[in-house]
Structures are given as structure tokens and as C-alpha cells.
Structure 1
Amino acid sequence: MTDGIALSRFQRTMITIAVMTATLLQVLDTTIANVALPHMQTSLGATRETVNWVLTSYIIASAVAIPITGWLADRIGRKTLFVAAAIGFTASSALCAAAMGIGEIVAFRVLQGIAGAFLVPLAQAILFDINPPERHASAMALFGGGVMIGPILGPVLGGWLTEYYSWRWVFLVNVPVGTVATVMLWRYLPSGKTIKRRFDLFGFALMGLALASFQLMLDRGQQLDWFASWEIWVECFVALAAAWMFVVHLVSARDPLVDPKMFRDRNFVAGMLFMLMTGAVMLAGLSLLPPLLQTLFGYSVLQSGLLTAPRGLGTLVSMLLVGRIASRVDSRTLLLVGLSLMALSLWQMSGFTLEMDRRPIILSGVIQGFGLGFVFVPLQTLAFETLGVHYRTSAASLLNLTRNVGGSIGISLVTVLLGRNFQVSHAALTSNVTATDLPPLPPSLAAPGQFVGQSALQMLESEVSRQAMMIAYLDDFWVMMLATIAAFPLLLLIRRKPKPANTAA
């Protein structure tokens, strides 16, 4: 496939609908099951620790499988791989819904993660191929809509399905939609050429080992008190050792899993770094807001999901806008505007109070979503602008892998900071509480000046804990704002593709 491959408008539309449907399904499944975990735990007779493997297994399987997308697409063709992945994702979703034990659903989630890993990078590469260069920004706006809005809609849809139906519908909903997408892909997606490439088994093993160990460390670190556990030390050592060996193998092997020439492209490297930051801020924010709204503000699961939805609306609107103006405005300017809006929204969130209503939550969410759209669309276009066409599938897989890794790092980082800042804030607040701060009993119950005993202490401790937790959340938002500001210098790495000079007739 090449830029703007000759297709009818109808065929291009059908392919776009099919690949975006598959993309949305895969992205939704990264977050849709989160809210259903308590129900799965009860239904499957699992413990709190084992039920978390429903999420962990999917993340690890997807991270390990993503890097081989480029090789598989070259070897068997994009159409064959895309259709096979869509069938595998749909079938494994049905198996997850039918699982009768925790072991079964974890095994089926591994299959779902492997199949789903190929969908997003293939969709991105195909959208580039079926559209001419002048429509790449619009295509990436559409692609970004699915990738960025999916994680936001996931908790809302998952909460509604679980509350009114069953946790099994979280997976069953994929079956009819996935079936339609598969049929459309088979019918309208043209067959591409195949390239025989030797499979770098050693490189794949090293990368898979590094990613799996790193994801395990991030996922289980908080639960095991991080480096107080030997398991975390082992996982950290294995991840670092395997990653170092992979880098050495990458630059010395004759036919490595990933062509190292890709990393000579400055825009692509800058895009990966931007994607790392974007994934961290977006997914970390999504992991913080729902528990904040539910535990400190008293909103229900469904209400908290609806309050995070405006961020998705802001993202959708800004992506549609950027898709229209990207050809007339320097993409670096759009990135600057997006980063500034994201930093502004996080600054607003660092000023949340326990007495506020829902308006600041909605406003900061819309602004942050607007900023994400201004970042994501030009970022996707710039990352591929100076890169060779034959690198697109591999580059798309690496960009999506970077976003997922960034999200995992961001979630782990804010979780650690939340716990530690809560302890620090709680200790600081407690040190300023004295016996005179306890409320006296009403005159009808006791003599003036007599203090309530254990009940008053429990009430005071509850309020101190509530205030300390709010301070910890605000500190997290402040750190996320600083991380966003730290990404501004990356704009200096990006260069525009030179326009061809006009030649005289």
C-alpha cells in the first residue's frame, strides 16, 4: 500500500468505518473491565489479588505482542493479519463472557490482549495508506477520536452494563460489533503485498521479557510495597537486563526485530517521547478522577463516569477542529497550544476543594480534552511526516506501545505519590490537632466543657483523613502539570518536512 491508494470513495469510507470500529473496541477494553472487577470477584469466587490479573494479563499480553505487528504484517499481509486479529479478539471476548473461573478468564484475556494488540497500529497504518498526504491530518483526527475517547467512555459503559445487566456484558458487547467489523474488513480491505523477513526470535524474546517484567513490576509494586518485596527487585533487574541486551542486539544484529534506522528520524523519536508523556497524563488522570469523585465527593460509579465524559467531548471537538486547520497552521504551534491547555487544566485541578460543586470538574475536563486533541492529531502526523512509508506499521506499533507504557508508568507513579503524600499530609494535620479541637457535648447530655470520647475522636480522624487524601490528590495533579510543562522543550526537536521547490515549466 502507498499514500492515497486508488480506492473508490465508498470503499474508503467502508474501510475507515471498519478499522475505527475495531480500534474503538480494543481501546475500550483497556478500561471497560475496571469497574466490573468487584462483581467478577464475587461471581468467580476470586480474591482481590487474583481478580486483578484480569487487567494485568491483558496489559502484559498486549505489550508483548505489539512489537511484532510490523513483522507479521510484512510476512502475511496487513489484510490477513487484521482480519485474523479481529476474529481472535471477537472470539476471545465471547470466551471471557462465558468463563466460569478466574483461571479461565485470565487465559482468555491473554488471548484477547494478543489479538487486540495488532488492531490499533494496523488501523493507523491503513488510514495513512488509503488517504493522500493532504488528508493525513483529518485521518489522524478520526483515529485519535477512537484512541483518546475510548478510555474515557470505557468506565461509563462498563459501569452501566455491570449495574443494569451483568459483568459478562462488558465482554459480550464486543461480539456483534466485532463480527460486523470483521466482515467489513474482509469485504473491503484490499490485499497488500507481503515481504519475506527473517523473524528475530532472540530480539523478540528480549523485548517481551523486558516489557512483561516491567509491566509486572508496575502493576504489582503498590500491592507488594515496591522494593520492600524481593519480587519487585527481581522484576526490575530482569526488565533492565533484558532491555539493555535488546538495545545491544538492536544495533548489532543483521536483521533485528525493529529497524534501528527508524530512530534516526528526529520527528519519530520526538513523537515517541510526546506519546510517553501524553499516555502518562491521560491514563493517570483517568485512574485518579473516578476514586476521587466516589470516595471524597460521594458520587456513584455511573455519576463519576458521566463527570469524566466531558473530557472526551472536548477531545472530539478539538480533533475535528485540528483536522480542518492542520494543513494551514504549523503543527508545532498546535502542539504548543495543546500542551498549554493541558497544563492549564491540571493547574485548575490542583485547586479543587471539597466544598465545590461539579462545575470545576466539568470545566477542567473539557479544557484538558481540548488540549489532548490539539496534541494528538499533529503529533501523529509529524511522527510519520519524515518517516519512510515502509516503516509505517512498525512505527505505529512502537508509538502505541510507547503510549501504553507511558500510561502504566503514569498510573503507578500517581498511585505511589497518592499513598505517600496522604501519609505525610495526615501526619502534618494530626500534629496540629489538640484536645480543644474536640467538639463538646450538647448541654442536654453533659455539663459544659465535657468532651465527647471515642465517637468524637473517630469523627475527627475521619475528617483529618478526608482532608489529607484531598491534599494528596491535589499534589498528584500538581506533579502531572509539571510533567506536562517539562515536555515543552521537545518542540525544539521537531522539524517540518521541506516542501518541494517549484520548478519552472
Structure 2
Amino acid sequence: METGFTKWIIVITVVMCCLLELIDTSIVNVALTQMMGNLSATQQEVSWVVASYAIANVIVIPMTGFLAEQFGRKNYYLFSVILFTLASMACGQSTNIWELVAFRFIQGVGGGALMATSQAILIDTFPPQQLALGQALFGMGVIIGPTIGPTLGGWIVDNYDWPWIFYVNVPVGVMASIFTILFIRDPERIKNAIRRPLGQIDWLGIFLLILGVGSLQYVLEQGESNDWFEDQSILLFTALTVVGMVGFIWRELTAKQPVVDLRVLGKSRNLAVGSFLSFILGFGLFASVFVFPIFCQRILGFTAEQTGYLLLPGALMSGFMMPVVGKSIQAGVSQKYMLPVGFGIFFVFSYWMSTQISPTAGESDFFWPLMLRGVGLALLFLPITTMSLAGLSGKDAGQAAGLTGMIRQLGGSFGVALVGTYLERTTMQNRVGLLPNISLYDPETQQRMQGLIANFMAKGADIVQAQRQAYAALEGMLMKQTALITYSQTFLMIGTFFLLCVPLIFLIKRARPGEKVDLNAAH
């Protein structure tokens, strides 16, 4: 355990790295249009800038425990920080879209290690009585990172140019590399771990993990834009997902030294339940962060920077609540009681947001619902994490941490993919449902049209131009009303999904007296 100045230098280093990794999952979203113009890329091509990073992330995360043990955690962490930093510089220097996609994949390989390994370093930095504080600091990065990404990206794009969203990583990465060399040390269990000869490494398991999880992430990232199963590439990668995942599960359950030990799921019912709840948490975190900015920018006309500032107080509320929740767990409050409260709060947030959706909504209408979201996420993240690892130790805890991290990321990808598809298809359904209400044979519609035509003619248009403009204005009103209904339904759908998960809490096994969470082994 480190103390004093060294302890807080380590905290600053790993929290910065964790934030960088998670900010980079969303910071590029607001710069995609500018990238398309500068790099002469299509929308389909530029979407790979996001997808390649996510695919690399989700492949690396479950292997971090094995890689830290094989090469030494400090060495692996330092390599990952340097790789992430160099790839960030290369991304900014890219001269065409496929160079950028390749460097984003490499950046994702380095970034995937930062999150899971940062958690392990934080936990080893704090004494047992302060473990909840270490987890809380890690949780702040997990929740705040994706939220402030669009804010930071919007500010950079508005004031500079898109390469700077990557260049800002470089000084932080250099500083983190220096601090890693000077202050971070491997714990004894890592120093004494037996390194596997190259021939004994589970290469088949690694290949099947890359094939299965990578293909699944591709399907989730590209499915909506490719019209899902109407596209041959989606069908192909769906088949590869099935082959890869089935093969990976079989291999990891039968191999003597698996790269990801899935047998740990059978050792703890709480881990199995916690893994599913981690999926739900990722779904809610990323889906709500995805849908709200789209609504603000497309319907209310907010800039990316304005939207980010609106999300920031709720993220800071999560950060404030994390230590409070951690201390409550240390004081003996059961996660089994916290989780229903967290799910209930997230449902209230979603329902509240669905009632606030209107064409005249302003920033003040969303402030308190988003603050409530911050409280709900804090009441979910820390209890799920600690409950999942309860009763596990050594390698089992490390494998469990990697699994829950991967599943949380996949939950986020499912959330974004499903919400995106729901928005698109429900919008069309709602438009069809509203069309009978604006029939040109309806007296109210005729009166509205006459008013619009008169308004445009008063501005100098002739009768033909005024009629065309009136039809266009009516269509605009229809689409805006359709969008408002759809976004309201989307928030309600997300909230209902969370509410339906509450019965899972009854599957959680009550902790035995004196049972502790051995987070010291979590990689």
C-alpha cells in the first residue's frame, strides 16, 4: 500500500488514464462531419472511426488479467499508456480515412487496458478499509468520461480542428508514462506469478475471442446503417459471431489454462447475476448519453458544447455520490437493498425525461432529471461491482473484473444499437399514425394551410410559391411532432427496461458473515 504524496500521484495518474480512455469513446462523435469533409470520406466510411476503437476495446478488456500476469502489470500498463499516446498522435496526423481507422484500432488496443488495469492499480493503492474509495474514484471515470466526451469534443471542434481531439491526449499520456515509471509498482502476487511459455498460451482462445466479440461489436456498430440483416456483411459477421462465441465458450471451459476463465461464473451466483446487471448498467449509461444529445441537437437546436455542459452537472453528481455509496457499503448496507433503489431512480429519471420532451423545452427543464440520473448511476455502479466480486480471490477476482468490464461495454453497444434502431423505425410508425390527423379534407388542416399561405404571401411569395412553402412547413411540423413523440417513447422504453430488471435482485445471494470483497486481485 502506498501512502502520502505517492498515493495521490498514483491516483491522479490512473484516473486521468481512465478518463482519457472513456472520453475517447465519445469525443470523436461530434467531429465526424468535419472528418468527412477533410478526409473525403463517406458517412459509412467515417463510422469506422468509432467502430474500430470500440471493437479493439471490447476484445482487449477481458484479456487484461492474463496480460498483466504474463508481462507484469506495471510493464503492461506502461506499454498501454505509450501505445495509446503514440496512436493518438498518429490519429491526428492521418491523411486519409483508412489510416485514421487503423490508428484508432491501435489506440483502442492501448485504451482497453487502461480502464481495467487502472481499477486494479487503484485498488492496490488503498488499504482495505478504503477500498470503496478506490472503487468510487474508478467509478467516477467510468460515468463521467462518456458524458464529458461530447462537451470537450464540441469545444475543440468549434475552436480548433478535428486532429486536436487526439493531440490533447499526448501531454497527458507523456505525464502518465513518467509517473508510471517513477511511482507504480507491481504487487507481490504479480511479481511472483508464473509466466507461461509461449507454447502454453491459449492462442486458440485468443483467436476465438477476437473472432466472436469483434464480429459482434461490428454487427452492433454497423447494423443500423447497413439495414441490419438485409445486408450481406451483417449476415456474414453474425454467423462469425455465433461461430466465434460458441467456440470461445467451449474452449475456455475445457482448456487447462484459458486466457479468460469462464469457469469462475460457476463459482459465484452473484457474479453471474452481477454480469447481467453490468450489461444493464452499460445499456442505460450509454443509451441515455446517446439519445439525449441527439434530441437536444436535432430538435432543440443546441450545439454539441451546450449539450455537453447540460450533461456535466449530472455526471459530477455521480462523482459526488460514489464515495457516499462506498462508505455506506463499508458501513454494512447491503447491495441487495441499494440496487432496487438505483433501478427505481433510473426509471423515475426516464419517465421524468419523457414528460419533459416538448418543442419549447429548455436547459432548466432537464437539470433536475439529469441530476437524478447521476444519483441512480452511483447507486448501481458501485453495488454491482462489489457484489459481483464478493467471495472471489486471486485469479478468480481478476477474471471476474475483466468479464464484467467487457460485458458492461457490450451492454453499452447493445444500448446504442437498439435505441438507434428504435428511433428510426418508431419515427416512421408514428409519422404514419399522425398522417390521418392532417388530411387536407379536414377543416382545421385547411384553416392551418390558409394561414400559412397568407403568411408566406405577405412576405413576398406568389400563390404557387406560398403553397409549396406551406406544404413544406406542414411537413416540418409533422416530422417535429413525430420526433417529439418518438423521443418521449424512447426514454419511457429505457426506464421500463430498468424497472423490469428489479426482480433479478432476488437472485443475489446474501453475503456470509465476514465475507469480504477481495478486490486486491482484480485486474
TM-score calculated relative to the size of structure 1: 0.94
Q: Give the alignment of 1:193-232 within 5 angstroms.
A: 193=191, 194-197=193-196, 198-232=200-234
* Preserved CA contact (<8 Å) 2:116 2:402: yes
Following TM superposition, by how much is the alpha carbon of 1:496 offset from its aligned partner in structure 2, in angstroms? 4.3
CA distance in 2 between counterparts of 1:444 and 1:159 reads: 36
Alignment deviations for residues 142-163 of structure 1 (CA, whole Å, 9 cap, x no partner)? 1100111000010000100111
Mean CA deviation greater in 476-485 or 244-253: 244-253
Name the residue aligned to 1:254: 256
Secondary structure of 2:438's match? coil
Following TM superposition, by how much is the alpha carbon of 1:270 offset from its aligned partner in structure 2, in angstroms? 1.8
Q: Give the alignment of 1:60-75 within 5 angstroms.
A: 60-75=55-70
Q: Does 1:426 align with 2:431?
A: yes
* Preserved CA contact (<8 Å) 1:152 1:311: no
CA distance in 2 between counterparts of 1:401 and 1:89 reads: 19
CA distance in 2 between counterparts of 1:392 and 1:330 reads: 20
Change beyond 3 A, Cα 1:12–1:455: same
Indicate the percent of aligned positions where both proteins have the same amino acid: 32
Q: Which has the higher helix share?
A: 2
Alignment deviations for residues 345-396 of structure 1 (CA, whole Å, 9 cap, x no partner)? 0011121222333222111111011110111112222222211132333322
Which consecutive unaligned segments of at least 5 residues does structure 2 have? 516-523
CA distance in 2 between counterparts of 1:30 and 1:444 reads: 45
CA distance in 2 between counterparts of 1:141 and 1:55 reads: 28
Following TM superposition, by how much is the alpha carbon of 1:445 offset from its aligned partner in structure 2, in angstroms? 6.0
Which residue of the other structure, out of 336, 345, 349, is the alignment partner of 1:332?
336
- Structure 2 letter corresponding to 1:493: L
Name the residue aligned to 1:3: none
* Preserved CA contact (<8 Å) 1:136 1:381: no
CA distance in 1 between counterparts of 2:514 and 2:404 reads: 28
* Preserved CA contact (<8 Å) 2:253 2:263: no
Following TM superposition, by how much is the alpha carbon of 1:500 offset from its aligned partner in structure 2, in angstroms? 3.7
CA distance in 2 between counterparts of 1:27 and 1:242 reads: 26
Mean CA deviation greater in 412-421 or 431-440: 431-440
Q: Does 1:50 align with 2:45?
A: yes
* Preserved CA contact (<8 Å) 2:264 2:399: no
Which residue of the other structure, out of 383, 401, 404, is the alignment partner of 2:406?
401
Q: Does 1:316 align with 2:319?
A: yes
Q: Give the alignment of 1:292-307 within 5 angstroms.
A: 292-307=295-310
CA distance in 2 between counterparts of 1:357 and 1:176 reads: 37
Aligned-pair Cα RMSD in Å = 1.9
Which residue of the other structure, out of 496, 500, 503, is the alignment partner of 1:482?
496
CA distance in 2 between counterparts of 1:263 and 1:288 reads: 33
Q: Give the alignment of 1:40-189 within 5 angstroms.
A: 40-189=35-184
Secondary structure of 1:247's match? helix
Name the residue aligned to 2:361: 356
- Structure 2 letter corresponding to 1:195: I
CA distance in 2 between counterparts of 1:57 and 1:71 reads: 23
Following TM superposition, by how much is the alpha carbon of 1:443 offset from its aligned partner in structure 2, in angstroms? 9.9
Name the residue aligned to 1:285: 288
* Preserved CA contact (<8 Å) 1:125 1:392: no
Following TM superposition, by how much is the alpha carbon of 1:275 offset from its aligned partner in structure 2, in angstroms? 1.0
Change beyond 3 A, Cα 1:72–1:442: closer
Which consecutive unaligned segments of at least 5 residues does structure 1 have? 1-5
Which residue of the other structure, out of 2, 9, 16, is the alignment partner of 2:11?
16
Alignment deviations for residues 5-43 of structure 1 (CA, whole Å, 9 cap, x no partner)? x43333322222211111111111111111111111111
Secondary structure of 1:176's match? helix
Mean CA deviation greater in 139-148 or 315-324: 315-324
Alignment deviations for residues 171-200 of structure 1 (CA, whole Å, 9 cap, x no partner)? 111111111111111111113413223311
* Preserved CA contact (<8 Å) 2:282 2:411: yes
Change beyond 3 A, Cα 1:250–1:459: same
Across the two proteins, how many residue pairs are aligned to each other? 493
Following TM superposition, by how much is the alpha carbon of 1:67 offset from its aligned partner in structure 2, in angstroms? 2.3
CA distance in 1 between counterparts of 2:307 and 2:400 reads: 35
* Preserved CA contact (<8 Å) 2:82 2:174: yes
CA distance in 2 between counterparts of 1:248 and 1:391 reads: 19
Following TM superposition, by how much is the alpha carbon of 1:222 offset from its aligned partner in structure 2, in angstroms? 1.1
Q: Does 1:467 align with 2:481?
A: yes
Mean CA deviation greater in 381-390 or 75-84: 381-390
Alignment deviations for residues 116-136 of structure 1 (CA, whole Å, 9 cap, x no partner)? 111111111222223233222
Change beyond 3 A, Cα 1:392–1:468: same
The structure 1 segments of at least 4 consecutive aligned residues displaced by more than 4 Å after TM superposition are 443-446
Change beyond 3 A, Cα 1:100–1:442: closer
- Structure 1 letter corresponding to 2:365: P
CA distance in 2 between counterparts of 1:443 and 1:117 reads: 57
Change beyond 3 A, Cα 1:46–1:486: same
